Structure 1
Amino acid sequence: MSKYKLFLLRHGEGAWNKENRFCSWVDQKLSVDGVKEAQDCGRLLKQQGYQFDIVFTSILSRSIQTAWLVLEAMGQEWLPVVKSWRLNERHYGALIGLNRAEMALQHGEDKVKLWRRSYNITPPPIDESHPYFLEIYNDRRYTTCDVPKEKLPRAESLKEVLDRLLPYWNSTVVPEIRKGKTVLISAHGNSCRALLKHLEGVSAEDIANVTLPTGIPVLLELDENLQPVKPRQLLGDQAKIQAAIKKVEDQGKAKPSA
């Protein structure tokens, strides 16, 4: 029997989503379409009668901005929003800033899919020569983390995302769920996929085929042991959701120049 409701949300489209670049820990705002996705998501949740008690986000602007827009559309701006780097997007290391389709043309689609979607493969780490290294590690938000800046990742596999996310999930999010609160996690494609792997027991092989489109809320109904009682539900127009999933999957395909 369903006891708790948990909502996961990949932020609305960001500027670099639109450009098909690995964004990762570079801080980007939502695109115009991303703003609309977040507002539409909030309106859908309101129409379906959902109400949240607390919201968790990463410390990246696109995740926070999405939460704000969703809550505004729902008339729930007053809710507490708790932020942690442990919900950040996966750290793509040296791949940050690169175009996925160009990488697929250069290295092959299979290699890019491994970098993007596999569970255990860690991309090459970022170093100080990388054009976005200082922008990330000189950002003041990373002085607020619960680990020293020099201990923050330089690249991550999905497994490593789950490893840094789970302590926060268990210590901070789970107690709120157990109080009977309806929780929204407004985060990123990979932090949400990592949580789904944990909660649903998805295998390391099958998680590569789990795709979350931007701005689409995912409802998980959980029992008293926080085990899902039914398959995850992606809420909204199912035809549009399938088209959005295909769009995400096509980002890693080579597009030869004419």
Structure 2
Amino acid sequence: MDSNTHTLVLVRHGQSEDNERELFSGLRDPALTPRGVEEAGSAGTTLRNLGYRFDAAFTSRLRRAQHTLALILEALGQSDLPVHTDAALNERDYGALAGLNKPDARARFGVEQVRTWRKSYDAVPPGGESLAMTEARLWPFFEHTIAPRVLGGGCVLVVAHGNSLRSLLLRLDRIEPRQIEDVNIGTAEILVYRGDPATRTLTRAATIATPAGG
């Protein structure tokens, strides 16, 4: 199958200032770090070297994802590609945890409680969203707006966030909710899926880590 047909490429944003400082981000809007900028450019170079040309691009309303997407498209020579932004792709809302240093949060709430809030499927941080809630707001948008483009023969790029992408993987990779705790997506990591129009399914074809400056 042509790499530019029936293809979905998911990319997590590059390292943000909150990632660097070990802060819970959620709906906070930190910028990319210099390393994050390098990671995003490297992801774009990787995709260019693999021969990708995209028909459509989607991202969240948060600048770390938008900047990552812009840098990827620049490396691809596709800066003029129309970009669709939607809050459905935003990171999960961490509520009262947003802006807290992760070690400090563990000291305050307990290691196990913080791990549960971060990694489990249905635990809800105070005032925030569980992964299940993130999935509930994101999947309908994906199913009705993004998936039809892929299954119709397009090559679609989505740049989003660690947890918003994890919520997609629950269904794309057919992961049981109890197993999602072990799933992590690195900054600027690339996940490639191929669509099968006959079965209306998407299947993981490749996972590509993107080192800064690589």
Pair in the same fold by TM > 0.5? yes
- Aligned equivalents of 2:175 and 2:205: distance in 1? 12
State the TM-score, normalized to the length of structure 2. 0.91
1:222 to 172, 195, 199: 195
2:35 aligned with 1:61: no
One-letter amino acid of the counterpart of residue 82, structure 1? H
Q: Secondary structure at the match of 1:22?
A: coil
| Distance in 2 between residues matched to 1:42 and 1:223, nearest whole Å | 25
Question: 2:200, 2:180 → 1: CA distance?
Answer: 19
| Deviation, structure 1 residue 236 | 4.3
Tell me, in whole angstroms, the C-alpha distance in 2 between the residues paired with 1:22 and 1:12: 15
Equivalent positions of 1:109-128 (< 5 A) are: 109-125=111-127
Does the aligned pair in 2 maintain the 1:200–1:227 contact within 8 Å?
no
Shift of 1:92: 0.4
Matches within 5 A, 1:64-213: 64-125=66-127, 155-213=128-186
Report if aligned partners of 2:69, 2:159 keep a CA contact under 8 Å in 1: yes
Letter in 2 for 1:161: T
Larger CA deviation: 96-105 vs 186-195: 96-105
Structure 1: distance between partners of 2:201 and 2:116: 28
- Give the TM-score normalised by structure 1: 0.76
Q: 1:57 to 1:49 in 2, by over 3 A?
A: same
Distance in 1 of aligned mates of 2:161 and 2:36: 13
Deviation readout 1:43-80 (Å, 9 max, x if unpaired) = 01111111111100000011111000000011111111
* Contact 1:197 1:203 (C-alpha < 8 Å) held by counterparts: yes
Structure 1 109/56 Cα, relative in aligned 2: closer, same or farther at 3 Å?
same
CA distance in 2, matches of 1:218, 1:170: 18
1:41–1:217 CA contact under 8 A, matched in 2: yes
Gapped regions of structure 2 (runs ≥ 5): none
Larger radius of gyration: 1
Q: CA deviation at 1:227?
A: 2.5
Instruction: Please report the RMSD computed on the Cα atoms of aligned residues, expressed in angstroms.
Output: 1.9
Give the conservation status (yes or no) of the 8 Å contact 1:15–1:30.
Answer: yes
Count of aligned pairs between the two proteins: 209
Q: How much does 1:94 deviate?
A: 0.6
Three-state SS of the structure 2 residue aligned to 1:123 is coil
Given residue 113 of structure 1, which amino acid in structure 2 is its aligned partner?
R
- Cα–Cα, structure 1 residues 170 and 19, in superposed 2: closer, same or farther, change >3 Å? same
Q: CA deviation at 1:179?
A: 2.4
- Counterparts of 2:207 and 2:143, CA distance in 1: 24
